[in-house]
Structure 1
Amino acid sequence: MRLLFTTTLTLIMSLSFSQDNSENDPKITELVMSMSQRSLVMPGYLTDLKALVARQAYEFWKNGNTEPYVSHLNVYQALYQANKYLGYDSIRNMAFNQVGFHSNTVTSVVFGSDPNFYYSSSTDGKVLKWDLTSPQSIPQTIYESDKIVQSIEMSSDGKVLMAIFYQEGLALIPIDQSIEEDISVLEDPEPVQTATFIPGERRYLSVTKSGDLILKGFDSKSENVGKTALKVNQLKVDEQDGTIYAGTEEGVLEAWEKPYEVKESPVEDIMENWKNQSYFGYKLGSFSINCLDIGPDRNTLAIGRDRGDVILWDIAKKELIRIISGHQSTVTDIQFSPNGKLLLTTSRDGTARVWNLEDSRKLPIILDDHDDWVFTGSFDPTGRKVITGGGDEYIRTWPIDPAILAFRICVMVNRSLTNEEWNEFVGSDYEYQMTCEN
């Protein structure tokens, strides 16, 4: 049964974006928008009808020539809200995509080498392992501390997890049995601002409280590779050439290229001093840079700021590509999708957003069901789901392909709109069709 479900869903997903928008039909677009909005405002106790109206709006959107820049957002929101009420657990107050066992703010979510499992950290001091195929199952506690876990990072081979403690040190946690004999949990007590793994190596890079960039091996051997006078919020290392990127509280993007030169970064005249050196710094305004990610093309750096916007930076040319605006508050986390076509951002405005990088005119999908700041987000390895966590202590799993949400409605409801319902929400001038084929 599970194989049949998966095969059917895969087929539906492959057809979900087959629209031909070369000639948009304003009448179909208006109908899709109207039905999506009517589903959204429909009370939750009309569960089946709310879901079927959203599903039928999706069918018109998928098969019709609708406006391509806004309608997808309305369809997605209607499908998501409908799914939220289908199978809602009123006793535990849990929606279909909601999991939660952390007892405090969720600070990070990351995937390892197995796409069916992801890991989360929290200010409660725990690092948990979750089964993506069984969202409501009890997670495994793989690490516990009395320290606040500021964030977690995964090594490029998916075998070691790094827990970075707030204003303290860090811990390296083996999560693959093949290396547990080589290393045990390694705790580095030296206080750090932040840290990250070196891609493809058993080494990690940290920024000490005094601003030293220290490269350490799992054997604790260390090497000083740089110095900064600024407060660093996040580090990223380019796996191709080893360039170190640092997002700073002062709004400066810093970088150290190989061979590294150990000297303090210039602060007073930052634009004049980086040229022809292994260090460079580019002041991107006065807003703190909170998060960074390097795209799969290895040529684009995404920069999330306190201003609520994202800067796309050309790595080769060392220049701005464009600015993406939309969040109403600080951007807290950022990640490219595996194929580089989408960008995920999370924010203190309580939302996560999925941006289409191929067409800047297309509105982002807004994931807005957290009850507090959203601190972290990650695509799953397929790029079809997003995992988010935040101040409400919950983790949520979001299918970003509307076909998944539409398919679930017909599995859960097991009926179609009646003729009377069709006439009310679609209209008698459209020929009746089964919303859900049996």
Structure 2
Amino acid sequence: MRQLLTTALLSLSLLSYAQDNRTTTELVMSMSQRSLVMPGYLTELKALIARQAYDFWKDGNVDPYVSHLNVYQALYEANKYLGYDSARNMTFNQVGVHSNAVTSVVYSADPYSYYSSSTDGKILKWDILNPTSIPETVYESKKIIQSIEMSNDGKVLMAIFYKEGLALIPTSKNSQEDIQVLEDPTPVQTATFLPGERKYLTVTKSGDLILKGFDAKSEQVGKTALKINELKVDEKDGTIYAGSDEGVLEAWEKPYEVKESPIDDIMENWRQQSYFGYKLGSFSINCLDISPDGNTLAIGRDRGDIVLWDIPNKNLIRIISGHQSTVTDIQFSPDGGLLLTTSRDGTARIWDLTDSRKLPIILDDHDDWVLTGSFDPTGTHVITGGGDEYVRRWPVDPAYLAFRICTLINRNLTKEEWNEFVGIDIPYAVTCPK
């Protein structure tokens, strides 16, 4: 009898916990949605409801897989209206603007500045600590800049031009004594730096993989019959990965062996020692990144999904779906736990790779295609840019957005507002204690 009573009490306790969990989750989601739909002219009320929803989410028994996305979006929208600069028509995280589409963003060696490139032919350097300052123009050309990349030591930027070769650009006056701007006019499909070396790798229009030093000496290390959109070199062993328009992932392993990629019988030959090609489908592979531990290759495709590839075992891990259009850029966070993707669907997304059940954070305030994105060196913020000509900077942790609200508002919810937006059955609490 005692055992039955204990079991019954435990069951009631678990049921009560589940009900409390469900009730708090529904409250958080309801408050987040009410904050989102509240008009912007009710700025403070909109922000306080979002902040209180965050407090319930952070401190309560809430299902994390349901509500974290709603909480982030409500906090972001509230901060957007709190930080709006009507004179310059800029929101709080709108940190830069070009005169044409932003094609690429990369951080410098420190977390306080970053570079952006545009189809306007300019590369600008932005100071995060002084977001209203005029950016430094570090390079200007009449050519269309397809993308930029930073060398490992942070001393050289590579600008890849659309159909017109590339340029190597020193990032500071001190480094100009070491290297001048170097123009390589040979048209390329794409290019990348070789990690830890003063060399870069290009794919020519004819499909030759050419390794070049800054002194312009060159060596052919591979050949492909495919159209290559992205190159990535593994820091561990020097393996070259290439994403193709035809949906084939290609790789050349050291020692490199120069021969035509075996497209006709690709599935039979992909485990060769020096070369392999794996057909992932008919969708174009647009972007690649290698995880910090070197074990996973992230692949962004035209289909709008992300393929995670097991590097040591050369096989598929899983496919992540979510974007509604082409994935344009992809990057692991510095600790490898998160993945940033950008897309022509107008959003960037931050995926938690440690828990596949968790919905991604959706960053959706660009008014056009999002073409590029990058984590900062600390992993606490990301920057994005796209066809609307703006560069935006987003915090990864919603705690920053919640904290910012209470630094800008000098009041709390009134009792009447609490009763309406929280509930008369929930004890009143101060949202922003001073």
TM-score when scaled to structure 1?
Answer: 0.94
Alignment partner of 1:273 out of 269, 272, 275:
269
- What is aligned with 2:5? none
How far is 1:36 from its partner?
0.3
Q: Is contact 2:296-2:311 (8 Å) kept?
A: yes
Q: Equivalent residue of 2:142, what SS? A: coil
**Structure 2 letter corresponding to 1:86:** L
TM-score (norm 2): 0.95
Report the alpha carbon displacement of residue 234 of structure 1 after superposing the two structures with TM.
0.4
Q: Which amino acid aligns with 1:92?
A: R
Rg (Cα) greater in structure: 2
SS in 1 for 2:65: coil
Shifted more, 256-265 versus 414-423: the winner is 414-423
Decide whether the 8 Å contact of 1:24 with 1:67 is kept in 2.
no
1:30 matched to 2:21? The reply is no
Is the 2:296–2:308 contact (alpha carbons within 8 Å) kept by the matching residues of 1?
yes
Q: Is 1:100 aligned to residue 96 of structure 2? A: yes
2: distance between equivalents of 1:285 and 1:24?
46
User: Do residues 222 (structure 1) and 218 (structure 2) align?
Assistant: yes
> Is 2:374 the counterpart of 1:378?
yes
- Alignment pair present for 1:117 and 2:113: yes
1:211 is displaced (CA, Å) by: 0.5
- Deviations along 1:245-269, one digit per CA (max 9) or x if unpaired, are 0000000000000000011111111
1:242 aligns with 2:252: no
Displacement, 1:277?
Answer: 2.9
1:22 CA displacement: 9.9
Which residue is 1:297 aligned to?
293
Report the Cα offset of residue 24 of structure 1: 6.6
In the other structure, the counterpart of 2:79 is: 83
Q: After superposing the two structures, state which structure 1 stretch, 132-141 or 348-357, moved more.
A: 132-141
SS at match of 2:316: strand
CA positional deviation for 1:26: 1.1
> Unmatched 5+ residue regions in structure 2?
1-16
Report the counterpart of residue 187 of structure 2 in structure 1.
191
- Paired with 1:259 and 1:387, the residues of 2 have a C-alpha distance of 37
Number of the residue aligned with 2:138: 142
**Within 1, Cα distance between the matches of 2:28 and 2:401?**
16
Determine the structure 1 residue equivalent to 2:413: 417
Shift of 1:106: 0.3
CA contact (8 A) 1:351 1:374 kept: yes
Give the total of aligned pairs: 418
Q: How far apart are residue 428 of structure 1 and its match? A: 1.8
What SS is found at the alignment partner of 1:370?
coil
Alpha-carbon distance in 1 for matches of 2:382, 2:417: 34
Matched AA of 2:100 = N
What percent identity do the matched residue pairs reach? 79
Instruction: Give yes or no for contact 2:96–2:126 (8 Å, CA) kept in 1.
Output: no
Partner of residue 3, structure 1: none
Structure 2 vs 1, CA of residues 217 and 413 (structure 1 numbering), >3 Å: closer, same or farther? same
2:178 equivalent to 1:173: no
**How far apart, in 1, do the equivalents of 2:178 and 2:20 lie?**
60
Whole-angstrom CA distance in 1 between matches of 2:319 and 2:227? 23
- How far, CA to CA, are the matches of 1:22 and 1:215 in structure 2? 60
Question: What is the identity, as a one-letter code, of the residue corresponding to 2:253?
Answer: E
Deviation at residue 183 of structure 1 after TM alignment: 0.9
Relative to structure 1, the CA distance from residue 222 to residue 22 in structure 2 (aligned partners, 3 Å threshold; closer, same or farther) is farther
Give, as a single letter, the amino acid of the residue that structure 2 aligns with 1:291: C
Task: Give the equivalent residue in structure 2 for 1:44.
Answer: 40
Q: Within 2, Cα distance between the matches of 1:230 and 1:133?
A: 44
SS of equivalent to 1:403: helix
1:97-137 per-residue CA deviation (whole Å, 9 max, x = no partner) reads: 01333110000000121111110000000001011222232
SS at match of 1:25: helix
Match of 2:395 in 1: 399
Q: Which residue of 2 aligns with 1:261?
A: 257
The separation in 2 between residues aligned to 1:24 and 1:269, in whole angstroms, is 59
Aligned-pair RMSD on alpha carbons? 1.2
* Pick aligned residue for 1:367 from 351, 363, 370: 363
Match 1:336 to one of 318, 332, 335: 332
Q: Which string of whole-angstrom CA distances, capped at 9 and with x for unpartnered residues, describes residues 9-67 of structure 1?
A: xxxxxxxxxxxx99971111111111000000000000000000000000111100101
Would you say 1:252 and 2:248 are equivalent positions?
A: yes
Question: Is contact 1:23–1:65 with CA below 8 Å preserved after alignment?
Answer: no
1:157 matched to 2:182 = no
Instruction: Please tell me the residue identity of whatever aligns with 2:270.
Output: W
Paired letter, 1:282: Y
- Letter of the aligned partner of 1:269 in structure 2? D
Rounded to whole Å, the distance in 2 between the matches of 1:228 and 1:181 is 37
Q: Quick check: 2:208–2:220 contact (8 Å CA) kept in 1? A: yes
CA contact (8 A) 1:254 1:282 kept: yes
The 1-side partners of 2:332 and 2:278 are apart by 22
Where structure 1 has 5 or more consecutive residues not aligned to the other structure, the ranges are: 1-20
**What code does the residue aligned with 1:232 have?**
I
